[in-house]
Amino acid sequence: MLAMEKPWLSTQELDNLQLGKLKQSVAYAYAISPFYRRKLDEAGVRPQDINQLSDIASLPFTSKEELRDSYPDKLMTASDRDVVRLHASSGTTGKKTVSFYTRKDIDDWALMMARCFRLAGVTPKDRVHITTGYGLWTAGAGFQAGVEALGAMAIPVGPAPMEQQLELMIDFGSTVMVSTSSYALLLGEEVRRRGLEKEIKLRLALVGSERWSDRMRERINALLGIETFDIIGMTELYGPGIGLDCGYHQGVHYWADHFIFEIIDQVSGQPCGPGEQGELVVTTLSKEAMPMIRYRTRDVTRILPEPCPCGSPFPRIDRILGRTDDMIKFRGVNIFPGLVDDVLSKVAGVGSEYQIVLDRLEGRDQMTIRVERAEGPSPAEFSQLAAEIQKRCKERIGVTSLVEVVGYGDLPRSEKKAKRVIDRREND
Ligand code: ZN
């Protein structure tokens, strides 16, 4: 039985809580993990040197490479007696990234996830349809634990053929769905195609695991007649459920009683100023079986300095603009695919799907943005739309790109993560 959570903390209480837990967490990692002890010794920092929150900047970073190099269990900081589970993410190259959990880690994660569901307006009366994968992946198990901690009903379908997915959704009257954005779009289009809108009882969805544009969100909302909430997380930090956008949908609240978020300049490693964009670095404050100290996530975003209109004291980050490793270098300019999302989201008559194609012609880089027109009658002709997009790209991103507008449904749909960037330039 999980203990009930305290209601909102004040900002001051949160700061005090963070400092106390940071001291504890670093002292614990130093005492128990040879990996962190070596890193702190090399950086000349002792746990007792942390006296205020800003002292976190003196601690060394932990990188994705270090996580991979510690495969399979070199970063496990609790004994087999206390560790109750592991999860792992596939990772695009080489070894998996593994995360370990004590009983308390699992309970904390379930409460964070339940907090996400509650913030989205899910109640114990809801039936939550889980379409994400179970097994080594964190998503299925994480969502399920959160649904159960909240007291709603989990419908643990996982990835299944669309036919079966829709049948179960209709038969059991699922009111909430959990999925990736690509899958939500695919399902929405299928519901529309089959004319099942009246039989589907969904009212909202928690959508995560990849960056998605406002346009894609509007499209999913319209197709399914639902409200969608952006959920964030990663295997290295429990899994999904470490934050969610509230009903104002202006940035994602993160659970600052369990994490410290920092934004750093990805090149110099120095902290960015308030509201500045850079790489997200996360320190865990509660994790026992695998604490993370200043973990460089490679996600690019910013911390929103203003308080949210919803009144929550939990701080917010902007939506993830991209990853430091999927940043496109184009004619000497660094571009995040998220910026292109943003430009396209503001042009009327454009659909949610697009690709960025990079070529090198006679030694010169060329960018082509292939974008779908919106479904149904469109206010502008293809060529007018292309000209509009080209102009806005030039203004916003500072580069001239070719724009190719294609018909609705012409770009590939994916059940997993959509491939947005196609780089055909030779590496030289
Ligand atoms: Zn809010």
pLDDT of residue 237: 94
Give the distance (Å) from ligand 1 centre to CA of residue 17. 21
DSSP strand pairing (127-130 vs 153-156):
parallel
Give the pairing of strands 127-130 and 176-180.
Answer: parallel
- Looking at the fold, whether 273 and 360 belong to one and the same domain comes out as no
Interval between CA 316 and ligand 1 midpoint (Å): 8
Cβ 37 vs Cβ 76: under 8 Å: no
Ligand 1 centre and the CA of 119: distance in Å?
Answer: 9
Residue 314 alpha carbon to ligand 1 centre in Å? 8
- The letter for the amino acid at 318 is D
Calculate how far, in angstroms, residue 424's C-alpha sits from the geometric centre of ligand 1: 41
pLDDT score at 341: 83
Longest Cα separation, the chain: 66
Domain boundary (273, 305, 323) is at 323
Q: How far is the CA of 243 from the centre of ligand 1 (A)?
A: 11
Asked if residue 352 and residue 212 are part of one domain, the reply reads no
Instruction: Please answer whether residues 89 and 138 qualify as being in contact, where contact means their C-beta atoms are separated by less than 8 angstroms.
Output: yes
Q: Do 267 and 389 fall into the same domain? A: no
Q: How many structural domains does the chain have?
A: 2
Q: What is the pLDDT of residue 4?
A: 47
Domain identity same for 117 and 254? yes
User: How many Å lie between the centroid of ligand 1 and the Cα of residue 308?
Assistant: 5
| Å from CA of 253 to ligand 1 middle | 7
How far, in Å, from the CA of 21 to the mean position of ligand 1?
24
Cα(258)–Cα(268) distance, integer angstroms = 27
User: Which pLDDT score is estimated for 335?
Assistant: 82
Neighbours of ion ligand 1 (CB under 5 A): 246, 308, 310, 312
For ligand 1, the distance from its centroid to the CA atom of residue 287, given in whole angstroms, is 25
Using the CB atoms, write b or e for 364-402: b if 16+ within 10 Å: ebbbbbbbbbbbeebebeeeebbebbbebbeeebeeebe
CATH code of the domain in which 259 resides? 3.40.50.12780
Å from CA of 311 to ligand 1 middle: 6
Q: 232: CA distance to ligand 1 center in Å?
A: 15
Last residue of one domain, picked from the residues 291, 323, 355: 323
Do 35 and 74 belong to one domain? yes
CA distance 417 to 29: 34
Neighbours of 184 (CB within 10 A): 27
Residue 385: both structure tokens together: 């739309």
Number of residues in the chain: 428
On whether the CB atoms of residues 140 and 179 are closer than 8 A, the answer is no
Q: Are residues 281 and 360 in the same domain?
A: no
Alpha-carbon distance 183 to 204, whole Å?
14
Q: How far is the CA of 94 from the centre of ligand 1 (A)?
A: 38
Q: What is the pLDDT of residue 1?
A: 40
Tell me, yes or no, whether 331 and 318 share the same domain: no
Q: Which of 323, 351, 369 is the last residue of a domain?
A: 323
Say what the pLDDT of residue 309 is: 94
Residue 23, H or E segment: helix 11-32
Verify that 168 and 316 share a domain, yes or no.
yes
The enclosing domain of 333 has a CATH number of 3.30.300.30
CA of 250 to the centre of ligand 1 (A): 7
Give distance in angstroms: CA of 276 to centre of ligand 1.
20
Residues of the chain with pLDDT under 70: 1-7, 91-94, 377-380, 415-417, 427-428
Per-residue pLDDT, 211: 76
> 338 and 300, same structural domain?
no
Q: How far is the CA of 55 from the centre of ligand 1 (A)?
A: 28
Residues 225 and 253 in one domain: yes
Angle at 321 between CA 88 and CA 89, to 5 degrees: 5
Distance (Å) from CA 54 to ligand 1 centroid: 25
The rounded Å distance from CA 255 to ligand 1 centre is: 12
DSSP secondary structure letters along 41-76: HHHT--GGG--SGGGGGGSPPB-HHHHHHTTTTTT-
Letter string b/e over residues 271-290, b meaning 16 or more CB atoms within 10 A of that residue's CB: bbeeeeebbbbbbbbbbbbb
310 shares its domain with 410: no
Q: How far is the CA of 344 from the centre of ligand 1 (A)?
A: 25
Cα of 304 to ligand 1 centre, how many Å?
Answer: 11
Within this chain, do residues 235 and 275 fall inside the same structural domain, yes or no? yes
Could you list the residue range(s) of the whole structural domain that residue 78 is in? 1-323
* Strand-strand pairing, 316-317 and 252-254: antiparallel
The alpha carbon of 245 and the centre of ligand 1 are apart by a number of angstroms equal to 7
Identify which of 272, 238, 271, 270 has the alpha carbon closest to the alpha carbon of residue 255.
238
Q: Give strand pairing partners of 323.
A: 299
Distance between Cα 247 and ligand 1 center (Å): 7
Say what the pLDDT of residue 93 is.
60
Cα–Cα distance for residue pair 320/343, rounded to 1 Å: 15
The identity of residue 84, as a single letter, is V
Q: Cα(165) to centroid of ligand 1, in Å? A: 32
d(CA 381, CA 392): 17
